[in-house]
Structure 1
Amino acid sequence: MDTEEFLLPRSQHANERLHALIPGGAHTYAKGDDQYPEHLAPVISHGHGAHVWDIDDNRYIEYGSGLRSVSLGHAHPRVLEAVRREIDRGGNFVRPSIVEVEAAERFLATVPTAEMVKFAKNGSDVTTAAVRLARAVTGRPRVAICGDHPFFSVDDWFIGTTPMSAGIPAQTTELTVAFPYGDLAATEELLTRYEDQVACLILEPAGHSEPPPGYLEGLRELADRHGCVLIFDEMITGLRWSEAGAQGLYGVTPDLSTFGKALGNGFAVSALAGRRDLMEQGGLRHSGDRVFLLSTTHGAETHSLAAAMAVLTTYTEEGITARLHDLGERLAAGVRDAAAGMGVGDHVVVRGRASNLVFATLDENLQPSQEYRTLFLRRLLAGGVLAPSFVVSSALDDADIDRTVEVVAQACAVYRKALDAADPTSWMGGRPVKPVFRRLA
């Protein structure tokens, strides 16, 4: 379909309604219509497997489903069966449900590097709980975050370090310091500069590139030597890298780790896991000061925990992680061939682990470009591919991959024309898409 003919009138009207009622027009900034070409931000009606339909009756092959959370595909039968079984039995009680201990047992069997676990609803809950616990057990105020990783929490200790820091006191932000990924010398310098002040090192154990040899082991040694807590944010790497997360794949055990996203296949569940002696500080079986670790009204809803158990079982029994890697490798090879074939192989660049692919759109000077991203996304949408990233779900099949590559090739042909003109604006259809973290709306 020509992009000039590709219109979304119902979605456009729904987006206007969303903005009138909801700040930002979405409940997650990364889902905002500013992330999509102007007037081409589809509003979703429903999804099944790797496909979604918008309210304008267009069907898309979807990538990055649920901000990477729906890794088994929408309406996965094993997950829905487990959820339905619990919904009819009640979902939230005045005392713990037996499902809570069953879910904990299943999680710890899948992630054997952890000794205790506590569930919540979203990633920010558990990363902030990990930071609070680290501060409590060390008696230190500072948090060291990996500055190369984009997001850790909606809470002040992290958001204050981003361009969207309005409303956060400088005194809070000053307690968060950053270290570069892969650079042990710089991290040691930071820990020495703030000797006996840093409560924890928190990072995603892997991102768009593999950890340098010995890096995670080196961080483990640095944390031990400087007396701080090592925290792995496994929101993305959990299950996608291995069933036991990146810590299971690379063989380096953090003191605490946090999981979410793929854990519920779209149902709201996250987890803080780690060493028993640390986690128990948030419990009742010790004689020291109590730590308010996690306490959430909805954190142990039975249907979400049932979903998590079904996800963990499906991953281990059906080899889902391996399938995600196989699908991603096929997609990456196809996209790279398509881009090279259209003469834009240096400009449309696929990066990341096969199970977690992203793409970069570079201009004629090989610099990241929101304008070229707009052009590219516009062509993908018109071809029936909804892809803010190329993060795969296991519901994709070979036909989906082949169709995606075909659409990418068509988009790359237009990309080449824009590069030759050194001006993508004629093909953008409006304002460029915008980064999530920016100071001004």
Structure 2
Amino acid sequence: MNESPRFSRSNELQRRLHELVPGGAHTYARGADQYPDEMAPVLVRGEGARVWDADGNSFVEYGIGLRSVTLGHGYKPVVEAVCKAIAQGTNFSRPTVAEVDAAEDFLRLVPGADMVKFAKNGSDATTAAIRLARAATGRKIVAICNQPFYSVDDWFIGTTAMNSGTLSDAVSKTVRFAYNDLESARSMFAEHSIACVILEAATASAEPKPGFLQGLRELCDRNGALLIFDEMITGYRWSEHGAQSIYGVVPDLSSWGKAMGNGFPISALAGTRAVMELGGLRTDADRVFLLSTTHGPETGGLAAFRAVVEAYAREDPIGAMESAGRSLAAGVNAVSAELGLSAYFEVVGRPSCLTFVTRDPDGSPSQAYRTLFLQEMLQRGVLGQSFVVSAAHTEADIARTIEATRGALEIYRRAIEAGTVDGLLRGRPVAPALRRSAEPRRH
């Protein structure tokens, strides 16, 4: 167990990052405002489920690359495949054999799709799906489920609190419906001419009710709209075949990313031939400018993806994540119950995608109490905005985390009993990543 880690070098580097990079990080979810003040480690390396920071501190990491790493940091078969591929060149002026092989690998795993196109980030793939749907239907309105994130592009980010610089015209063509509420979807179709419906089939904290996804499929078919699944998180964490395989509903289009490359950059748009060919050369319709990226098919990302596919065929990473997650959730929730905190702190969600809920003395979700928990876990050698595991999390990692949780929750209980985090929380509470102003965590 780490003994009172110090963050002096990380803090120096974080201050420099704020001078060099807007927000101090290249992803808002990685920002220092998502961690306790002066306790945001700047990392140097990782191995398995462990990471080390610039001060030499070692942590068991959760969230693990914003859910992109399922096999563990530095997983050798993936790293070796990438090194072998890039030694022969990374980017060419014509397609490579690797593009054929990777496409065939992907489509074998996702039998509901006929074609696939690779890219580098999830937002591009998801926005490409929206463009295809609009072209295929001749309609403009996009129906999005009330889930946290789909894309950095205006059609979605313009609907959030962090909408400065977006076009109101794009936002006016986006409507929302509620997850697991078919009636809200029916009402939406009654009021609008909808091009497509997009959602995550399931989330860390929500499973589809019986008939919900099937009902959306039927509504789309009846009204001539396309159904799009965002498989960024569910792909390779629920199943390598996607959530669509688990729930038995085939979308017209699906977008993929994150764990496809075990942390290496690769994403994908997949779908039916009739729709995908609108961006190809086998159509008599006006062509869609689909994904056309310089780095989408670079050999390193494709090699990483193919090595991940091999690992999933050879091993059982999803089973390992489910097992580790069940042990972690059971252990932490048992500690919480023992300390009388079940009403204030609990671990919830799918075992492979766990989150924790922090509540104040009134039972309301609390950023201040969340920050206190993060602070105490960091002091005890655990880094994570969630309890999302990888297949590399060992029994020892889980045991260490449960032990750390006990110490953290003892402090948490003191705050609940006192009715305040004052005197226990050092610094400001964390703040939502998507918020209108830099306050309350301006740097």
TM range (shorter): over 0.9
1:151 corresponds in structure 2 to 149
Paired residue secondary structure (1:252): coil
Please give the alpha-carbon distance, in whole angstroms, between the structure 2 residues aligned to 1:104 and 1:2.
Answer: 44
What is the identity, as a one-letter code, of the residue corresponding to 1:397? T
1:64 corresponds in structure 2 to 63
Q: Tell me the TM-score normalized by structure 2.
A: 0.97
What is the identity, as a one-letter code, of the residue corresponding to 2:197? L
Q: Name the CA shift for 1:96/1:404 in 2 (closer, same or farther; >3 Å).
A: same
2:21 corresponds in structure 1 to 22
Within 5 Å, which residues of 2 pair with 1:126-275? 126-147=125-146, 149-194=147-192, 197-207=193-203, 208-275=205-272
What is the identity, as a one-letter code, of the residue corresponding to 2:60? I
Q: Deviations over 1:338-377 (max 9, x none)?
A: 1111111121121211111111111111111000011000
Deviation, 1:226, is 1.0
Q: Which runs of 4+ in 1 moved over 6 A?
A: none
Paired residue secondary structure (1:46): strand
What is the identity, as a one-letter code, of the residue corresponding to 1:63? Y
Which of these residues, 295, 310, 316, is aligned with residue 319 of structure 1?
Answer: 316
Within 5 Å, which residues of 2 pair with 1:1-16? 5-16=4-15
| Residues 243 and 316, structure 1, Cα contact 8 Å, conserved in 2 | no
Deviation, 1:7, is 2.7
1:383 corresponds in structure 2 to 380
What is the identity, as a one-letter code, of the residue corresponding to 1:188? R
| Residues 68 and 262, structure 2, Cα contact 8 Å, conserved in 1 | yes
Please give the alpha-carbon distance, in whole angstroms, between the structure 2 residues aligned to 1:210 and 1:189.
Answer: 22
Q: Deviations over 1:55-83 (max 9, x none)?
A: 00000000111100011111101101110
What is the identity, as a one-letter code, of the residue corresponding to 2:249? V
2:81 corresponds in structure 1 to 82
Please give the alpha-carbon distance, in whole angstroms, between the structure 2 residues aligned to 1:187 and 1:233.
Answer: 17
Please give the alpha-carbon distance, in whole angstroms, between the structure 2 residues aligned to 1:6 and 1:81.
Answer: 33
Please give the alpha-carbon distance, in whole angstroms, between the structure 2 residues aligned to 1:181 and 1:279.
Answer: 27
Within 5 Å, which residues of 2 pair with 1:331-342? 331-342=328-339
What is the identity, as a one-letter code, of the residue corresponding to 1:166? S
What is the identity, as a one-letter code, of the residue corresponding to 2:314? E
Q: Tell me the TM-score normalized by structure 1.
A: 0.98
| Residues 62 and 385, structure 1, Cα contact 8 Å, conserved in 2 | yes
Paired residue secondary structure (1:426): coil
Q: Deviations over 1:13-36 (max 9, x none)?
A: 000000001000000000000000
Within 5 Å, which residues of 2 pair with 1:72-111? 72-111=71-110
Deviation, 1:6, is 3.8
Tell me, which stretches of 5 or more residues in structure 1 are unaligned?
none
Please give the alpha-carbon distance, in whole angstroms, between the structure 2 residues aligned to 1:115 and 1:47.
Answer: 37
RMSD of aligned alpha carbons: 1.1
Paired residue secondary structure (2:388): coil
What is the identity, as a one-letter code, of the residue corresponding to 2:423? S
Please give the alpha-carbon distance, in whole angstroms, between the structure 1 residues aligned to 2:410 and 2:30.
Answer: 27
Please give the alpha-carbon distance, in whole angstroms, between the structure 1 residues aligned to 2:349 and 2:113.
Answer: 26
Please give the alpha-carbon distance, in whole angstroms, between the structure 2 residues aligned to 1:434 and 1:132.
Answer: 33
What is the identity, as a one-letter code, of the residue corresponding to 2:225? C
Please give the alpha-carbon distance, in whole angstroms, between the structure 1 residues aligned to 2:253 and 2:170.
Answer: 23
1:293 corresponds in structure 2 to 290
Number of residue pairs matched by the alignment: 437
Deviation, 1:2, is 9.6
What is the identity, as a one-letter code, of the residue corresponding to 2:200? E
Please give the alpha-carbon distance, in whole angstroms, between the structure 1 residues aligned to 2:256 and 2:170.
Answer: 25
Residues 1:405 and 2:397 are matched in the alignment: no
2:340 corresponds in structure 1 to 343
Deviation, 1:319, is 1.3
What is the identity, as a one-letter code, of the residue corresponding to 1:51? R
Paired residue secondary structure (1:37): coil
Q: Name the CA shift for 1:239/1:2 in 2 (closer, same or farther; >3 Å).
A: closer
Tell me, which stretches of 5 or more residues in structure 2 are unaligned?
439-443
2:420 corresponds in structure 1 to 423
